[in-house]
Amino acid sequence: MKTNPFVFGTIVGDENFADRKNELKELTSDLSSRTNLIIFSPRRYGKTSLIFKVIEQLQKKGIICAYVDLYPAATKEKFANIFASSIARAKAGKMDEIIHAIRDLIPPVKLTLRPEGTSEYEGGVELELSHGKNDVDSNLTKLYDLPEKIAKKKNKKMVVVFDEFQEIGKLDGTEIENNLRSKIQRHKNVSYVFMGSQRHLLDQMFNDKNRALYRAGKPFNLGRIPEEEFGTFIKERFKAGGINVSEEVISKILQLTQCHPYYTQQLCHEIWNYCMSQDSKSIEERDVLKAKEQVMKNQNYAYTSMWDSTRGRHRALLLAMAISDEKGIFSSKFRERHRLGAPSTVARAADALEEKGLIEKDGNDYVVSDTFFQEWIRKIS
Ligand SMILES: Nc1ncnc2c1ncn2[C@@H]1O[C@H](COP(=O)(O)OP(=O)(O)O)[C@@H](O)[C@H]1O
Ligand SMILES: [Mg+2]
């Protein structure tokens, strides 16, 4: 049985990664020249996959790179462990050297090292810091100097990526931001990337004059993948699996998914499965539609919970957006037709739906993120 050439739900690289040439060039060049970056996109656009590509290129230039995933950082203690472990995994030097550097910064901390394969998180070694009572805040703040210390010692540049950075704000208000800023603004050898998917929270952190990280980096909005490049990728992936697909069918696929990176891979994955089950070597438009039905069937449970998670005004807005072909959710026509209330009420509902990842900003308007979910809503309404 051949493996499916379309992958979704994990970080993609190598032959599973389409295009992004311009983005790759710009981000690599910015980080090589020590520009801090704030990278935003809705969920599942490919931020994490892209930054891993960028890291690959930076490493080739001899730059040390650390990737800090804040998604699992549910407490400050966890954040300290994740931060220290991520720096240790950047392979800047021997583990002894890293441990030594940490002890230098925070002498009283107790350190436990878990070797590769035994750690709670993916990606190798894990350091666990045990703080004395009430010490976690001050230890954490001192720890922020670790990358600069290592970069200096190795006489190299370093890049530290914070993925899902908005999570930091959920730990203890603005304390971490303040301390982090006060440290990193003095770092001469390290550049920082702040990435995230929750526009609202990131906006508050980086675009509010009263916040410590106000304009702490160059903003970079990651979009969907351009149709032409995505089309070439899809053709090649099917071809690698021995299946032919015409330009018209590719257009149909991308029209259905609106070039959304994740949903396009998801649909193509199902088209491939369908072809295999039919023992077919080429794809017709009707196969695409069959595969789409299958995606919607597979997702039925997820769509039901997404729908159930909305109530009242939020649900009314989602429904109105799903069934209507009009643009402009704030227009009086749209609000009146769907009885959505004042623009401020619509704005609040839009914020809430965006936070859940159900809708996303598109210029001054909003769209439903998953067009298959949109169709599902149309069917049940
Ligand atoms: N450049 C790309 N080429 C092909 N597919 C991609 C690309 N970027 C993202 N994807 C698809 O989107 C999914 C989510 O990517 P990910 O990097 O996890 O996004 P994010 O970090 O923005 O949530 C991947 O599993 C893959 O299916
Ligand atoms: Mg991600």
* Average pLDDT estimate for 241-270: 96
Identify residue 275 by its one-letter amino acid code: C
Question: Which atom of ligand 1 is nearest the CA belonging to 10?
Answer: 25
Whether residue 339 is contained in a domain is answered as yes
Burial 178-209, CB ≥16 within 10 A → b, else e: ebbbebbeebebbbbbbbbbbbebbebbbeee
Mutation test residue for ligand 1: of 262, 268, 360, the one with most atoms within 8 Å of CB: 262
Note residues around ion ligand 2 (Cβ under 5 angstroms).
48
Q: Using H for helix, E for strand and C for coil, what is the string for 71-88?
A: CCCCCHHHHHHHHHHHHH
Q: Please tell me the predicted confidence (pLDDT) of residue 109.
A: 82
* Gap from CA of 17 to ligand 1 centroid (Å): 8
Q: Phi/psi at 361 (nearest 5 deg)? A: -75, 140
Q: How many CB atoms lie within 10 A of CB 137?
A: 15
Residue 328: which CATH number? 1.10.10.10
Average pLDDT, whole number, for the chain?
A: 93
Q: Helix (H, G, I), strand (E, B), or coil: what is residue 69?
A: strand
Distance, first Cα to last Cα, the chain: 40
For residue 335, is pLDDT > 90? yes
Whether residue 172 is contained in a domain is answered as yes
Quick one: 263 and 318 in the same domain? Answer: no
* Gap from CA of 43 to ligand 2 centroid (Å): 7
Whether residue 131 is contained in a domain is answered as no
Which of 168, 191, 221 is the last residue before a domain boundary? Answer: 221
| Strand runs labelled E in 170-293 | 190-196, 218-221
Whether residue 12 is contained in a domain is answered as no
The ligand with the least distance to the CA atom of 222 is 1
Q: Please tell me the predicted confidence (pLDDT) of residue 117.
A: 62
Quick one: 177 and 104 in the same domain? Answer: yes
* Average pLDDT estimate for 268-281: 94
As a whole number of angstroms, the distance between CA 357 and CA 368 comes to 9
Q: How many CB atoms lie within 10 A of CB 269?
A: 20
Q: What percent of the chain lies above the pLDDT cut of 90?
A: 83
Domain hosting 34: range is: 20-108+136-221
Q: Please tell me the predicted confidence (pLDDT) of residue 371.
A: 94
Parallel, antiparallel, or unpaired for β 359-362 and 365-368? antiparallel
Pocket of ligand 1 (CB under 6 A): 7-12, 17-18, 20, 41, 43-49, 261-262, 265
* Gap from CA of 342 to ligand 1 centroid (Å): 36
Quick one: 58 and 164 in the same domain? Answer: yes
Which of 163, 198, 221 is the last residue before a domain boundary? Answer: 221
Q: Residues with Cβ < 8 Å from 238, sequence gap 6 or more?
A: 5, 244, 245, 268, 272, 283
* Gap from CA of 224 to ligand 2 centroid (Å): 14
As a whole number of angstroms, the distance between CA 370 and CA 376 comes to 10
Place 84 in a pLDDT band, splitting at 50, 70 and 90: very high
Quick one: 238 and 277 in the same domain? Answer: yes
* Average pLDDT estimate for 274-289: 94
Whether residue 120 is contained in a domain is answered as no
* Atom 16 of ligand 1, residue of closest alpha carbon: 46
Whether residue 249 is contained in a domain is answered as yes
Mutation test residue for ligand 1: of 45, 229, 235, 264, the one with most atoms within 8 Å of CB: 45
Question: Which atom of ligand 1 is nearest the CA belonging to 266?
Answer: 27
For residue 285, is pLDDT > 90? yes
Quick one: 240 and 342 in the same domain? Answer: no
Q: Are 208 and 201 in contact (CB under 8 A)?
A: no
Residue 104: which CATH number? 3.40.50.300
For residue 1, is pLDDT > 70? no
For residue 207, is pLDDT > 90? yes
The ligand with the least distance to the CA atom of 43 is 1
Whether residue 324 is contained in a domain is answered as yes
Quick one: 29 and 64 in the same domain? Answer: yes
Quick one: 287 and 328 in the same domain? Answer: no
The ligand with the least distance to the CA atom of 269 is 1
Please write the tens of the pLDDT for every residue from 154-175: 999 999 999 999 999 889 888 9
Quick one: 155 and 75 in the same domain? Answer: yes
The total number of structural domains in the chain stands at 3
Question: Which atom of ligand 1 is nearest the CA belonging to 49?
Answer: 17
Which of 185, 200, 221 is the last residue before a domain boundary? Answer: 221
Q: Residues with Cβ < 8 Å from 360, sequence gap 6 or more?
A: 42, 354, 366, 367, 369
* Atom 6 of ligand 1, residue of closest alpha carbon: 261
Mutation test residue for ligand 1: of 12, 161, 260, the one with most atoms within 8 Å of CB: 12
For residue 299, is pLDDT > 80? yes
Tokens of 231: 């089309």
Q: Please tell me the predicted confidence (pLDDT) of residue 123.
A: 60
Question: Which atom of ligand 1 is nearest the CA belonging to 42?
Answer: 22
The ligand with the least distance to the CA atom of 69 is 2
- In terms of Cα–Cα distance, which of 380, 377, 251, 258 is closest to 324? 377
Q: Indicate if the alpha-carbon torsion angle 248, 5, 271, 258 is positive or negative.
A: negative
